[in-house]
Amino acid sequence: MPESRLLLGDCHEELRRLEDASVDLIVTSPPYADSRSTTYGGVSPDHYVEWFLPITAELLRVLKPTGTFILNIKEKVVDGERHTYVMELILAMRAQGWLWTEEFIWHKKNCYPGKWPNRFRDAWERLLQFNKQRKFHMYQEEVMVPMGDWAERRLRNLSQTDNVRDPSKVGSGFGKRVANWIGREKAYPTNVLHLATETKNRNHSAVFPDDLPIWFIKLFTRPGDWVLDPFMGSGTTPRVAVDMGRNAIGIEILPNYYALAQTAVDGALRQTAQLALLESGTPYEPTEPE
């Protein structure tokens, strides 16, 4: 059975509880810079880098040498210009010892509306990939996508099969879906992800869609690995992680979000246990890496 460890507190301090080189994947979407100081973790754009650097130092410590850090972030407009704190952060993290391996693009199909005289709607965010070494674990076959017209629609939902863990669909539906894939050519994806933002979830103001952490968890971890989100919010990352048979660590500073995350992760753990019983009649056991 997957384990989960949810911590209530400031991740500056809570991260110190974690052991060196104990995490396989970090996926997080920190509070974006905001001029307002009263909002959730509001940090001014001009002080964003100095606020975030102590945290990335801890993340560098807890990440395994073969692990990966995925950072979802986007710069705000300040005085008609894109602010430069994201670029400054990348440069500072490299000085800290991180390798800036890649930048994925999250294309937000349903971006915020609006009209301005000097700019269009912002429909993309950065997904920065950092590593400790040039060699890291990457399981590319896990995120391969089928080709052809039929696949075009599936490309939108990057991983529906793993997302849906409804036991009622296990018996017939899963086998059918697998059958659809047999005999079809598969292709590796690119570094551009097409996903819509979640609009249904009212609990958290800035949830990212389930498919985002799911995709990176499939790509960079195997069952039994440890996934960390130091700004878990309502718990999207740890919830889908345990759904996928990974162990999860989540940190949240606000008690009400922490409570939401606890409920969500507990539910996912119970579902995983039930599913294991249905499928094999034996308790769930994650696949052991050799």
Pick from 150, 164, 169, 277 the residue near DNA by CB under 7 A: 150
Region from 14-22, 117-125, 171-179, 257-265 binding a copy of itself, contact rule CB under 8 A: 117-125
Region from 19-27, 128-136, 231-239, 252-260 binding a copy of itself, contact rule CB under 8 A: 128-136
Cβ proximity to DNA, 73 vs 244, nearer residue: 73
Asked if 118 touches DNA (CB under 7 A), the answer is yes
Pick from 38, 118, 172, 287 the residue near a copy of itself by CB under 8 A: 118
Give least dist CB 133 to a copy of itself, A: 9
Asked if 288 touches a copy of itself (CB under 8 A), the answer is no
Residue list 84-103, contact with a copy of itself (CB under 8 A): 84, 87-88, 90-91, 94, 99-103
Residue list 237-276, contact with DNA (CB under 7 A): none
Pick from 54, 148, 167, 175 the residue near DNA by CB under 7 A: 148
Q: Binders of a copy of itself: how many residues, by CB under 8 A?
A: 37
Pick from 19, 20, 117, 281 the residue near DNA by CB under 7 A: 117
Q: Which partner, DNA, a copy of itself, none, binds residue 157 by CB below 5 to 8 Å per kind?
A: DNA
Closest to 112 in 3D by CA, of 99, 124, 126, 100: 124
Site string for a copy of itself, 1-20 (x = CB under 8 A): --------------------
DSSP, collapsed to helix, strand or coil, labels residue 252 as: strand
Distances (CA, A) of 283 to 118, 272, 273, 288: 59, 10, 7, 15
Distances (CA, A) of 25 to 37, 44, 168: 30, 28, 31
Pick from 149, 182, 188, 283 the residue near a copy of itself by CB under 8 A: 188
Gap between the terminal Cα atoms of the chain? 18
Any bridge partners for residue 127, and if so which?
72, 104
d(CA 43, CA 40): 9
Token duo for residue 185: 């050519």
CB of 250 closer than 8 Å to CB of 265: yes
Residue list 176-205, contact with DNA (CB under 7 A): 180, 184, 187-188, 196-200, 202, 205
Pick from 92, 138, 151, 276 the residue near a copy of itself by CB under 8 A: 138
Give least dist CB 102 to DNA, A: 9
Q: Binders of DNA: how many residues, by CB under 7 A?
A: 49
Closest to 75 in 3D by CA, of 128, 126, 130: 126
d(CA 22, CA 232): 18
DSSP, collapsed to helix, strand or coil, labels residue 27 as: strand
Q: Which residues contact 246 (CB under 8 A, 6 or more apart)?
A: 2, 217, 221, 223, 224, 225, 226, 227
Asked if 281 touches DNA (CB under 7 A), the answer is no
Any bridge partners for residue 102, and if so which?
129
Region from 15-23, 70-78, 214-222, 277-285 binding DNA, contact rule CB under 7 A: 70-78
d(CA 93, CA 287): 34
Cβ proximity to a copy of itself, 143 vs 269, nearer residue: 143
